[in-house]
Amino acid sequence: MNIDGMKCSRCRKPAQHRLPSHNARFCDHCLGIFVRRQAEKAIKQFDMLGPGQKVLVAVSGGKDSLALWQILLELGYQAEGLHLALELGDGSFGEASLAASQDMAQRLGAPLHLMNMAELAGFGVQEIAWANKRSFCSVCGTLKRYQLNKVCLDLGFEVLATGHHLDDEAARLLGNLVRRHQQYLESQWPVLQGAPGAFAKKIKPLCRLRGAEIKSFAKSQGISVAKGACPRSKGATLPHYMDAVRLLEERMPGTTTNFYMGYLEDKGGPPPQPDPAQRCSVCGMPSYADVCTVCRFLANTAERESTKRDALQSPD
Amino acid sequence: MNIDGMKCSRCRKPAQHRLPSHNARFCDHCLGIFVRRQAEKAIKQFDMLGPGQKVLVAVSGGKDSLALWQILLELGYQAEGLHLALELGDGSFGEASLAASQDMAQRLGAPLHLMNMAELAGFGVQEIAWANKRSFCSVCGTLKRYQLNKVCLDLGFEVLATGHHLDDEAARLLGNLVRRHQQYLESQWPVLQGAPGAFAKKIKPLCRLRGAEIKSFAKSQGISVAKGACPRSKGATLPHYMDAVRLLEERMPGTTTNFYMGYLEDKGGPPPQPDPAQRCSVCGMPSYADVCTVCRFLANTAERESTKRDALQSPD
**pTM over the 0.95 mark:** no
- Residues 168-207 on B with a CB inside 8 Å of A are 174, 177-180
Query: How much is the pLDDT for B132?
Result: 96
Closest residue to A180, CB basis, from B179, B243, B263: B263
Total Cβ atoms within 10 A of residue B277: 8
Give me the residue spans of the domains in chain B: 39-230+251-272
In chain A, which residue's Cα lies nearest the Cα of B267? A180
The CA distance from A245 to B149, in Å, is 36
Lowest mean pLDDT among A156-160, B184-188, B254-258: B184-188
| A27 assigned ligand-binding residue | yes
Q: Say yes or no to pLDDT of A11 above 70.
A: yes
The pLDDT of residue B192 is: 94
Nearest to A99 by CA among A184, B58, A107: A107
Four-point Cα dihedral A240, A243, A249, A252, nearest 10: -80
pLDDT-derived band at A309 (thresholds 50, 70, 90) equals confident
ipTM comes to 0.87
pLDDT digits (tens, 9 = 90+) for A40-60: 999 999 999 999 999 999 999
Tell me whether residues B252 and A237 touch, CB distance under 8 A. yes
Q: Which pLDDT band holds residue A316 (cuts at 50, 70, 90)?
A: low
Q: Quote the pLDDT of residue B316.
A: 56
Q: How confident is the model at residue B275 (pLDDT cuts 50, 70, 90)?
A: confident
pLDDT of amino acid B130? 93
Q: What digits encode the pLDDT tens for the residues B70-117? A: 999 999 999 999 999 987 666 688 889 999 999 999 999 999 999 998
On chain B, the residues whose CB falls within 8 A of the CB of A255 are 178
Of residues A312 and B241, the one with the higher pLDDT is: B241
Full DSSP string of A213-251:
HHHHHHHHTT-----S--TTGGG-SHHHHHHHHHHHHHH
Is some CB atom of chain A closer than 8 A to the CB atom of B262? yes
pLDDT given at position A315: 60
User: A312: Cβ–Cβ under 8 A, 6 or more apart, which residues?
Assistant: none
Kindly give, in sequence order, each residue whose CB lies less than 8 Å from that of residue A190, ignoring residues fewer than 6 positions away: A42, A46, A48, A169, A203, A204, A205, A207, A264
In this predicted model, which residue has the larger pLDDT, B274 or A64? Answer: A64
The CATH-assigned architecture of domain A39-230+251-272 is 3-Layer(aba) Sandwich (3.40)
Percent of residues, chain A, with pLDDT higher than 70: 97
Q: Quickly count: other Cβ atoms within 10 Å of residue B238's Cβ.
A: 14
Cβ-based neighbours of B130, under 8 Å, separated by 6 or more? B304
Chain B residues with CB inside 8 Å of A179's CB?
A: 258-259, 262
Residues A137 and A233: beta-carbon distance below 8 Å: yes
| Band of residue B288 on the pLDDT scale cut at 50, 70, 90 | confident
Beta-carbon separation of B259 and A178 below 8 A: yes
Q: Which amino acid is at B279?
A: R
Mean of pLDDT values over A297-310: 90
Sign of the four-CA dihedral B122, B124, B126, B127: negative
For chain B, how long is the longest CA-to-CA vector?
Answer: 80
Degrees, nearest 5: CA angle B102-B103-B109: 85
| Range in A177-181, A280-284, B134-138 the model is least confident about | B134-138
Mean pLDDT (whole number) for A268-291? 89
**Sheet holding B54-58: strands in order across?**
B112-116, B78-85, B54-58, B159-161, B201-203, B191-192
- Picking from A59, A154, A159, the residue whose alpha carbon sits closest to that of residue A110 is A59
- Is the pLDDT reported for residue B138 higher than 60? yes
Q: Rg (Cα) of chain B, in Å, rounded?
A: 21
pLDDT digits (tens, 9 = 90+) for B163-211: 999 999 999 999 999 999 988 998 899 999 999 999 999 999 999 999 9
Using CB atoms within 10 Å of the CB of residue A222, give its burial: 0 to 12 exposed, 13 to 18 middle, 19+ buried: exposed
**Interval B223-251: pLDDT, tens:** 999 887 778 877 789 999 999 999 999 99
Q: Report the candidate in A306, A312, A316 with the shortest Cα–Cα distance to residue A131.
A: A306
Mean model confidence pLDDT for chain B? 92
Residues of B in contact with A178 (CB under 8 A): 174, 248, 255, 259
CA distance A301 to A311: 15
Q: What is the pLDDT of residue B233?
A: 76
**What whole-number distance in Å separates Cα of residue B204 and Cα of residue B263?**
16
pLDDT on residue B276: 82
Query: How far apart, in whole angstroms, are the C-alpha atoms of residue B161 and residue B65?
Result: 9
Residue B42 is predicted with a pLDDT of 98
State the DSSP string of B233-283: GGG-SHHHHHHHHHHHHHHSTTHHHHHHHHHHHHH-SPPPPP--SSB-TTT
Distance from CA of B263 to the nearest CA of A (A): 7
CA distance B230 to chain A (A): 19
User: Is A149 in contact with A196 (CB distance < 8 Å)?
Assistant: no
- From CA B124, how far away is CA B128, in angstroms rounded? 6
* Beta-strand relationship, A112-116 and A78-85: parallel
**Residue B240: closest C-alpha in chain A:** A248
A87 with A97: CB under 8 angstroms?
Answer: no
Range A92-103 average pLDDT: 91
* Residue spans of beta strands (DSSP E) within B5-146: 17-19, 24-26, 54-58, 78-85, 112-116
Between helix A211-220 and helix A63-74 the angle, nearest 10°, is 70
Q: Which of B170, B191, B223, B203 is nearest to B21 (CA)?
A: B170
What are the pLDDT digits (tens) for A104-146? Answer: 999 999 999 999 988 898 998 889 999 999 988 889 999 999 9
Interatomic CA distance for residues A47 and A191, integer angstroms? 8
Residue B113 has a pLDDT of 98
State the Cα–Cα distance between residues B52 and B35, nearest whole angstrom: 18
pLDDT given at position B89: 66
Split at pLDDT 50, 70, 90, the class of A229 is confident
Question: What is the model's pLDDT at position A276?
Answer: 82
Are B135 and B111 a contacting pair, CB within 8 Å?
no
Q: For position B230, what pLDDT does the model report?
A: 79
Q: Which pLDDT does position A2 carry in this prediction?
A: 64
B252·A266 Cβ contact <8 A: no
Nearest chain B CA: its distance from A178 CA (Å): 5
Give the mean model confidence (pLDDT) for residues B52-71: 97
Distance CA(A178)–CA(A310), nearest Å, equals 46
> What gap in Å lies between CA B244 and CA B178, rounded to an integer?
11
Instruction: Please give the pLDDT value at position A218.
Output: 97
Q: Beta strand B24-26 with B159-161: parallel, antiparallel or unpaired?
A: unpaired
Residue A1 has a pLDDT of 58
A30 marked as part of a ligand binding site? yes
Q: Look at residues B228, B231, B211, B229 and name the one whose alpha carbon lies nearest to residue B219.
A: B211
Interface probe, candidates B173, B176, B178, B264, chain A, greatest A C-beta count within 10 A? B178
Greater confidence, A23 or B173? B173
Non-local (6+) Cβ contacts of B25 within 8 A are B3, B6, B7, B8, B9, B15, B17, B18, B19
Q: What is the mean pLDDT of residues B210-223?
A: 96
The per-residue b/e assignment along B130-144, b for 16 or more CB within 10 angstroms, e otherwise, is: bbbeeebbebbebbb
Of A224-233, B38-47, B158-167, minimum mean pLDDT range? A224-233
Alpha helices in A75-154 (DSSP H): 91-108, 117-121, 125-131, 136-154
Size of interface A-B (CB pairs under 8 A): 49
Is A237 part of the contact surface with chain B (CB cutoff 8 Å)?
A: yes
What is the rounded average pLDDT of the residues A148-173?
A: 97
The chain A residue lying nearest B237, using CA atoms, is A252
Give Cα A7 distance to the centre of its chain. Answer: 34
Q: Is pLDDT above 90 for B308?
A: no
